[in-house]
Structure 1
Amino acid sequence: MNKSIFILVLMIASFSFAQEKEDVKAIRKANNYVYEGNTLLADKDDFVSAEMEYRKAISEQPTTTAGIYNLGNSYYKSKNYEEALYRLEQAAKTATSKDEKHKAFHNMGNILMENKKCKEAVEAYKSALRNDPTDDETRYNLALAKECAEQQKDQNKDDQNKDDKEDKKDQDKKDDNKDKGDNKEDNKDKGDQDKKEGDDKKDDQGQPKDEKDNKEPQQPKPQPGQLSPQQIKNILEAMNNQEQKVQEKINAEKQKGVKVKTEKDW
């Protein structure tokens, strides 16, 4: 029983030793690839070949901070800022020392400044200083990033105010057009109403009803060969006058034939 346990422990130790040996081998190969990439960049500025070497290093040892960090820097120098930022973020996560984290965050701040992302750059430089508070270059870049972020904030505020003014101007214009449209519609309705009221005051012949009602009744025009009402009236008055004169004459004659009594009969 003790012999079996001894054999098992020996096998585990052998496996651990073999695994450690493989890890060391992978790290060594990764470092060699990183070294080749650095040489290509320093001597030939060959970014393409250097990138390939760094990728080989990451393939051998995915957590090799040097490979990831240098790959990010190679992208940065070739102005591939998006890929460079991605790799440097990886390097900051995998880094085990403050110095490695400081360098990763510092370069991240530089890339963000290149992309005019000043507010984000401020945070990157702050993270770099947390890992190395003595770096004056990072501190200087942080001051520049803060100034840039403040300017962008003011510019965004001005742009927002300008947009608000433009929106208000457009809204006022819309309201003005709406008011004009409403006034035009009101005037049209008023005109239609006035026209309707005017039509209501006219008869079927288009004559104003009020004027028609206020006019004196027109005398019918006499037809040819007929007497007018005025002529008939004049004739009747003349006949009445004549009859009155005749009656007065008859009464006068009767008055002459009657004797006046001076005394009364007993």
Structure 2
Amino acid sequence: MKQLILIFVFGFSLLAHAQEGGDPARSNSGNPSAEQVPNPEAIRSSQALTAEANEDLADSDFVQAEAKFRRAIAKSEANSAAPYNLGNAYYTDGSYGEAFGRYKEAGDRAGAKGDKHKAYHNMGNVYMQQKQYQNAVEAYKESLRNDPTDEETRYNLALAKEMLKKEQEEQKQDDGGENEQEQQDQDQQDQQDSGDEDDAEDKENQEGDNGESDKAQEGESEDDMKKEEEEKKSQNQDEKQDSKDQPKPSDQQPRPNQLSKEQIANLLQAMENEEKKVKEKIDAQKIKGGPPTTEKDW
């Protein structure tokens, strides 16, 4: 394969076929139809300009050569050498797109198979430079249809097929790698989605547990409230019972200008005590008087 590539580099560094001259016998080996040569003077003038343009190219005067090739092409459509040689000039300059257009124009104008063969051969070369190997294969095949004996074209066709096969294998490997990466990305995404679903389920279960816990706490709170209410109710009943057992305010508070039994008893006791004090006072005074004094005997 390395040997083929080296050959390709050297082989495609130059054009496969050289310039064609402006002489009608060299530019067209076939017999042109009446439609191709409407005016013999025009074709002779076109061929003369082509010859001058070839000389300008030999003198490295690309600008003059390009101008004369364009004039020759415009003079007569029967002249396939002018677009072919202009295509070679563009190819040497590295303007492959313009070169391809001129080669195609030459192939369409050519009446002889040999001229078509050379035009399609160089079209294949342009495709090879642009790494369009499938198109190159088709161009070389068309060239060989017009001249099956050209070994250079046959070699270029084999090389184009080999490069196309290599390209397809690399593309397959790239597609396989991309598909594998896509599969890995998809698996990772599925795993992430599964994890999200598990998290959502856990969260839902946790919320459910919290809800049940809240309900349980709410139930316990309600029981406590009921218990507290019952205790308050029982306490109120006890207070009511105590209030029934206690004397009524009418029994405890004396009426206006009326002494209670206790006050009367206390008053009587005080009176008795006062009488007792008075009696004791009287008795005490009697004692203090003592016996009567006697008169002294002086």
- Whether TM-score is above 0.5 comes out as yes
Match of 2:115 in 1: 100
Match of 2:209 in 1: 194
- Match of 1:91, SS? helix
Shift of 1:203: 2.4
- Match of 2:172, SS? helix
Match of 2:56 in 1: 40
Q: Deviations over 1:66-87 (max 9, x none)?
A: 1111111111111111111111
In the alignment, does 2:71 pair up with 1:56?
yes
Match of 2:45 in 1: 29
Shift of 1:48: 2.5
Shift of 1:47: 2.5
Taking a change above 3 Å as real, the CA distance of residues 203 and 54 of structure 1, as seen in their structure-2 partners, is: same
Q: Deviations over 1:110-139 (max 9, x none)?
A: 110000011111111111111111111111
In the alignment, does 2:103 pair up with 1:81?
no
Return the alpha-carbon distance in structure 2 between the equivalents of residues 72 and 21 of structure 1.
22
- Unpaired segments ≥5 residues, structure 1: 1-19, 213-218, 227-266
Shift of 1:62: 2.9
User: Quick one: higher RCO (CA 8 Å, sep 6+), 1 or 2?
Assistant: 2
Contact 2:37 2:76 in 1 (8 A): no
Shift of 1:206: 5.0
Shift of 1:63: 3.7
Match of 1:131 in 2: 146
Q: Give the TM-score normalised by structure 2.
A: 0.61
Taking a change above 3 Å as real, the CA distance of residues 21 and 176 of structure 1, as seen in their structure-2 partners, is: closer
In the alignment, does 2:178 pair up with 1:163?
yes
Return the alpha-carbon distance in structure 2 between the equivalents of residues 56 and 184 of structure 1.
79
- Unpaired segments ≥5 residues, structure 2: 1-35, 225-229, 239-298
Return the alpha-carbon distance in structure 1 between the equivalents of residues 103 and 37 of structure 2.
29
Q: Deviations over 1:5-30 (max 9, x none)?
A: xxxxxxxxxxxxxxx99811111111
Q: Give the TM-score normalised by structure 1.
A: 0.67
Q: Alignment identity in percent?
A: 40
Taking a change above 3 Å as real, the CA distance of residues 21 and 79 of structure 1, as seen in their structure-2 partners, is: closer
Q: Deviations over 1:208-256 (max 9, x none)?
A: x7xx8xxxxxx97998xx9xxxxxxxxxxxxxxxxxxxxxxxxxxxxxx
Contact 1:47 1:78 in 2 (8 A): no
User: Which of these residues, 46, 57, 69, is aligned with residue 84 of structure 2?
Assistant: 69
Taking a change above 3 Å as real, the CA distance of residues 33 and 203 of structure 1, as seen in their structure-2 partners, is: same
Return the alpha-carbon distance in structure 2 between the equivalents of residues 113 and 96 of structure 1.
26
